[in-house]
Amino acid sequence: MIYKKDILGDDSDIICKKLRSLTKNNYIKLPKYISFKIDNNTLEVYLQEQSNCENKVVEIMQDDNATFEGWSVVLKAWLKEIEIVVLKWDIPSKMVLKEETHYNRFLYRVIRMLDSYSWFKIDASLINEVENFKNGLTDLEINFGTKGPEKKLKHGGEYGENAVEYDMVHSLKKNMCDHYDIDVINHQLPVGIKKAGEQFLSGYQAAIDIYGYKANEFTLIELKYKKNNKVGIISELFLYTQIIKDLIRGVISTPKVKGSRNNDFFSICKDIKTIHARMLADTFHPLLMNQAVFDILNNCKQDDILIDYNKSSYIFSISPETLIFI
């Protein structure tokens, strides 16, 4: 397939060359569907719809071609000349219901990036699109789960992220609580969002991998295992953090039904004053191996709810079952 880039030019090759030199890693690549242009101190990030109507704003956010938050942050961190990032995208020309909920989630992410970072902007042509969506952020409710998570192995008994997550929360609970300084640990906190009873944001069954809390501090952990090392972990962690923040503030309401297995959290969420957002992976994308990435994420517009981001690496062994943070 021939990927269409912005006809006004694209600096992806130049940027890639700089990144490979700075990281000493010749395997650094930028996504094919996103056009990156640098003009003086401004980076334009443009998600362009393809001729076959393929549009990454209606697909999964952790895909390299959709994670605009991730690329915005890492490029700003590595390329010191970038002071402002301007996001531009093509509004989807046609959408089915599933794609509409993906686009809703995309717009929600855009709004929360604008709320969080003064260096992040959108193209002037899209301001009305975002404002109209923002006005509709009412009557939102988080999804709930009734059945507890089960430990599932892959075909042939191989461990995947699900099994590692389960063991971290159960048999390796003390390791995790000590490392993250939390009293309570749990997993699979639903973050699917409904509006007026109908699915509103894509990922209806999406959930935070691992979470815990202590007093009025909440810790959410995005887990990656076996070299699942994409820049998109930034977008996932950012989205889940913003949903929790909106839940604390009451912008998103807790479930109105009884019997949710996450009532332990829902009962105390309004008292939370600090959110600790954590990446936990056995290996990270090379562009995340720069403290400047987390300095940028942590330099957000703070208010009554404080947010901080960080990462940890780990070694996990099945037999004997061990977890070592490195």
CB 20, CB 43: distance < 8 Å: no
Rounded distance between C-alpha atoms, residue 130 and residue 107, angstroms:
7
Which residue type, as a one-letter code, is found at position 242?
A: Q
Ramachandran region, residue 95 (left: φ > 0; alpha: ψ -120 to 50; beta: rest): beta
237: helix, strand or coil:
helix
Which H/E stretch holds residue 36? strand 34-39
Rounded distance between C-alpha atoms, residue 239 and residue 60, angstroms:
12
Kindly report, residue by residue over 238-268, the tens digit of the pLDDT.
999 999 999 999 999 998 776 677 888 888 9
Q: Does 185 score more than 60 pLDDT?
A: yes
Considering the chain, what percentage of its residues have pLDDT values greater than 90? Answer: 78
Kindly report, residue by residue over 84-111, the tens digit of the pLDDT.
999 999 999 888 878 999 999 999 999 9
pTM of the complete model: 0.95
3-state helix, strand, coil in the chain (%, to 5): 35, 25, 45
184: helix, strand or coil:
strand
Kindly report, residue by residue over 25-63, the tens digit of the pLDDT.
999 999 988 999 999 999 999 999 987 888 999 988 988
Cα(first)–Cα(last) distance of the chain, in Å? Answer: 41
CB 313, CB 283: distance < 8 Å: yes
Q: Does 170 score more than 90 pLDDT?
A: yes
Residue 271 main-chain phi, psi, to 5 deg: -90, -5
Predicted pLDDT of residue 184: 95
Range 287-292 average pLDDT: 97
Which residue type, as a one-letter code, is found at position 121?
A: K
Q: Which domains does the chain have, with CATH numbers?
A: 12-134 (no CATH), 140-325 (3.40.1350)
Q: Does 7 score more than 60 pLDDT?
A: no
Q: How far is CA 192 from CA 102, 123, 177, 278, in A?
A: 12, 28, 26, 20
Kindly report, residue by residue over 192-230, the tens digit of the pLDDT.
999 998 999 987 778 999 999 999 999 999 999 987 899
Q: Residue 6's pLDDT band (boundaries 50, 70, 90)?
A: low
Map tokens 């923040």 to a residue. 245
Predicted pLDDT of residue 273: 96
CB 252, CB 192: distance < 8 Å: no
Residue 218 main-chain phi, psi, to 5 deg: -115, 135
Average pLDDT, the chain: 92
Considering the chain, what percentage of its residues have pLDDT values greater than 70? Answer: 97
Rounded distance between C-alpha atoms, residue 62 and residue 235, angstroms:
6
DSSP-derived pairing of the beta strands 207-214 and 252-253: unpaired
Q: Does 1 score more than 50 pLDDT?
A: no
